[in-house]
A and B are shown apart, each in its own frame.
Chain A
C-alpha cells in the first residue's frame, strides 16, 4: 500500500514538473517545431504559378538547388563566412575573457557588463555603423583622406566578405565572451599552480590545463555563433555587396519577390542541415585537438 502511494507521489513530481513546462513546450511545438515541419514538407512541393502550389511530393526543389551553381556557391560562402566569423570571434575574445577571469580582481561584474552592453543595443544600428565606418565616403576613408594619408578612398574596405566577417565578429562578441568567461572563471586556480609546480611553463600550462578546461565555453560559443550567423540577413545586405551576399539573402528573395516558397523551403532545410553538420564536426575536431594537446 505504502509503496503504491510512493510511486504515485514520485510520478506526481513528474506531473507537476510537466504541468509547469507545458506552456513552454507547447509554444516550442506550435511556433517552432510544427512550422519547421511544415516547411520541410513544403520543400517537396512545386510552385506552379504565382498563387498555385502543386503538393505532389517531389525531390525537384533539391535538384534545383544543387543543379544551379548560384545556390551551392551561396551555401558554401555562407558556411565559409560563418566559420571565419566563429574563428575570428573566438580568437579575439578569448584573451579578453582570460584577462577578466584571471587578472581582473575588482569589479569583474562591471567588466562583463561593459563588454556585453553593446550587444543589447540595436543590432541594425551596429551593422549600419560598420557600413558608415567602412564605406567609400565613410569614417575610415574620410579620416585618412583628411589626414592626407591617402588620395582616394580605399575601395576594398566595404562590400566584401571580409567586411561581413568583421561586422559579424563585432556583433556576436558577447556570445563568445560570456561562455568563455564563465568556463575560465570556474577553473580552480590551484590546478594551474599544480601544473607550474609539476614543471610546466606558463605556455604549456595554458595548452595542457587552462584551454582543455575552458573547452565547454569554447564549444558553447561555437554553437551559439556558428549556427545563427549562417542565417544572418542584415549584415550581408548592408556591408556585403554582391561578393558578400549569403544564402539567407537568396531565401529572402524566394519568399519575397521570386515567390517560390518550395524552393525557399528547400534552401532553408539545406541551410539548417548543413550548418548543423558543420557545427558538429567543428565541435568534434576542437575536442579531439584539445585532447591531443593536453
Chain B
C-alpha cells in the first residue's frame, strides 16, 4: 500500500429509490491530505461523506481505509470521526462529558481522561470551558467543541460536513486558516465537504468537484482554477467567460480553433480530442486587459466593444463589455481605476492566446 492510497473509494454508487445520489465515484486520498468535496447542494457530496462515515451503505462499490475494507462496517467501529454540520453537541451533558463521550471504551484512568480533555480543549483554544453546556456556547465555540470531540478519538480520518456553513463571514475566514493549521499539526487526513468554492480552494491540498453524483475533476486548487476540465468546473470556480468556438484542424497538440468574432487561432490542448468535438474557449476575466484605444496594449487579439455595465468591488472592478456579434457580455476585471471607461463608452479589450483554455462541451 502506498500512502497515496490511504483511502480508496472504489466505484461507489448510492441510489435512493430511483435517485442516483452518488454515481460510480472513484477516488484515492493520500495519508495526511486535506481533501475537499466541492459542489452545489444536492450534488451527492454529503452522501459520499456519510458513506465514508458509515451512516449510509453504498449500493455498489467499496471503501477501504488504511487497507481495510470498511464497506459494511457500522460507524462506531470505523477509524473515522465526523464534525457535523450543526455540530451535534449533546445538549444534556457539559463540554467535558461531550469530549469524553467517545473515550469510554478506552477505559482510561480519571487523570488520563482529564488530561486528554484538557489537551483537546487547548488544541481548539477553549481551555476552561469544561463545565459549559451547548446552549451557553456561540456557534464558533460549538464548532470547536465538535472538532475537539472528534479529534480526541485520534481518528485516522476526520470527516467534516460543511462545518463552517453556519458561521458569519469574518469568523468563517478565521476558522479556515485555523483549521488548516490544525490539520497540519495533527497530521490527520481531513475530508471536508463544502459548497463554498473559496473555502475549498483556500484550505485544501486537493479538491474534487462533484455535480449530479459524479466526480467532474480532482485537482489541486491552482490547477482547478487554471485548467478546468469541463464547463461546469470552469463556471463553478471563480468567474469565467465562455466563447462559442469550433475546431478547424488538429495537428498533434496544436489545435486550430475558430473563436466567435475573435478569429482563427492556434491553441494547445493536452489530451485526446477529435475534430468533431464541440468545444468552447474559456477566458478568466482578470487575464483580459482593457484600454481606451487599440494601440495602448500589445496583445495577440484586440477587439472593439462598448461598456454595458461596471461594478466596483474595492480591490477590483468588473467591467461588462458588449461586443457586436457576441450574445453574452464579456466580463473583464481590473484593479486599475481606468479613466474614461464608464457606462456606454467605447473600449478595446486585449486577450493573449496563452490565457485561452479550450474546454470540451460534454
Contacts and interface: CB of A to CB of B under 8 A. Distances in A.
Any A–B CB pair closer than 8 Å: yes
Interface of A: 2, 6
Contacts of B15: 6
B59 interface: yes
A4 to B, nearest CB: 11
Interface in B1-31: 15
B15 to A, nearest CB: 7
Contacts of A6: 15, 59
A6 B15 CA distance: 9
Contacts of A2: 59-60
A2 B59 CA distance: 6
Nearest to A9: B57
B54 to A, nearest CB: 15
B51 to A, nearest CB: 14
B273 to A, nearest CB: 36
Interface string B47-74: 0000000000001100000000000000
A6 B20 CA distance: 14
Nearest to B13: A2
B57 to A, nearest CB: 9
B14 to A, nearest CB: 10
Nearest to B60: A2
B355 to A, nearest CB: 47
B6 to A, nearest CB: 26
B21 to A, nearest CB: 13
Nearest to B59: A2
B83 to A, nearest CB: 28
A2 B58 CA distance: 10
Nearest to B57: A9
A104 to B, nearest CB: 24
Nearest to B58: A2
B245 to A, nearest CB: 43
4 contacts: A2-B59, A2-B60, A6-B15, A6-B59
A6 B59 CA distance: 8
Interface string B84-120: 0000000000000000000000000000000000000
Contacts of B59: 2, 6
Complex A-B, nearest 4 residue pairs according to Cβ-Cβ distance, in ascending order: A2-B59, A2-B60, A6-B59, A6-B15
B303 to A, nearest CB: 49
A206 to B, nearest CB: 37
Contacts of B60: 2
A229 B279 CA distance: 75
A285 to B, nearest CB: 41
B213 to A, nearest CB: 16
Nearest to A1: B60
A2 B60 CA distance: 7
Nearest to B17: A10
A9 B59 CA distance: 12
Interface string B205-245: 00000000000000000000000000000000000000000
B311 to A, nearest CB: 30
A262 B79 CA distance: 69
A6 B21 CA distance: 15
A186 B60 CA distance: 44
A2 B15 CA distance: 11
A2 B14 CA distance: 11
A83 B81 CA distance: 60
A2 B62 CA distance: 13
A6 B18 CA distance: 12
Interface string B337-360: 000000000000000000000000
B33 to A, nearest CB: 30
B346 to A, nearest CB: 45
A142 to B, nearest CB: 54
Nearest to B15: A6
A110 B70 CA distance: 52
Nearest to A6: B59
B50 to A, nearest CB: 16
A1 to B, nearest CB: 9
A2 B71 CA distance: 13
A6 B13 CA distance: 13
A10 to B, nearest CB: 8
Nearest to B16: A6
A60 B135 CA distance: 68
A6 B60 CA distance: 11
A107 to B, nearest CB: 19
A6 B58 CA distance: 10
A185 to B, nearest CB: 23
B134 to A, nearest CB: 21
A58 to B, nearest CB: 53
A2 B20 CA distance: 14
Nearest to B61: A2
A205 B141 CA distance: 45
Interface in B271-296: none
A13 to B, nearest CB: 12
B334 to A, nearest CB: 42
B178 to A, nearest CB: 39
A48 B324 CA distance: 103
Nearest to A3: B59
A2 B13 CA distance: 11
A54 to B, nearest CB: 57
Interface in B127-152: none
